Chains A and B, each alone.
Chain A
Amino acid sequence: MTTAVFTEDDLREMVLRLAHEIRNPLATIKSAAQLLEHLQPPDDELADYYTSIYAEVTRIDSVIRDLQRYARLDVQTARAVSVDDVVATAVDGVTASDRAAVGRVEVVGGPATQVLIDPTQLEIALAEILKNALRLSEDAAPVGVSWEHRDHSLVAIAVDDSGPGVSDKVREKMFRPFFSTSTQGTGLGLNIVAKTCELAGGSLTFENLQPTGARFTLVIPRV
Chain B
Amino acid sequence: MSESDTSFAATRGGGQADFRGRTLVVADDSALFRRFLTRAVSLLGCAAEPVEDRSALATLLERSVPDGVILDWNFDGEPSRDILADLSRRGVPVLVVTGDPEGLAGVEVPLLVKPVHLADLERRLTELWTHP
Q: List A residues at the B interface (Cβ < 8 Å).
A: 19-20, 23-28, 30-35, 37-38, 42, 47-48, 50-51, 54, 57, 68-69, 72, 77, 118-120, 124
Contacts and interface: CB of A to CB of B under 8 A. Distances in A.
Contacts of A57: 115
Interface of B: 1-4, 7-8, 11-12, 30, 32-33, 36-37, 39-40, 43, 74, 99-100, 102-103, 105-106, 114-118
B4 A37 contact: yes
Contacts of B33: 24, 27-28, 31
Contact of A120 (B8, B32, B102, B116): B102
Given A34-B4, A34-B8, A77-B106, A23 B100 contact: yes
Nearest to B34: A28
22 contacts: A20-B74, A20-B99, A20-B100, A24-B30, A25-B30, A28-B114, A30-B115, A31-B114, A31-B115, A31-B116, A31-B117, A32-B36, A34-B8, A34-B118, A38-B4, A42-B2, A51-B2, A68-B100, A68-B102, A72-B103, A77-B105, A120-B105
A18 to B, nearest CB: 12
A38 B11 contact: yes
Contacts of B32: 25, 28, 32
Nearest to B105: A120
A54 B2 contact: yes
B118 A28 contact: no
Contacts of B103: 68, 72
Given A20-B100, A34-B4, A69-B102, 12 more contacts: A19-B100, A20-B74, A23-B100, A26-B115, A27-B99, A28-B32, A32-B36, A38-B118, A42-B2, A54-B3, A72-B103, A77-B105
B2 A24 contact: no
B115 A34 contact: yes
Contacts of B37: 31
Nearest to A16: B103
Nearest to B118: A38
Most chain A beta-carbon contacts within 10 A, residue among B43, B74, B116:
B116
Contacts of B105: 77, 118-120
Contacts of A68: 100, 102-103
A118 B106 CA distance: 10
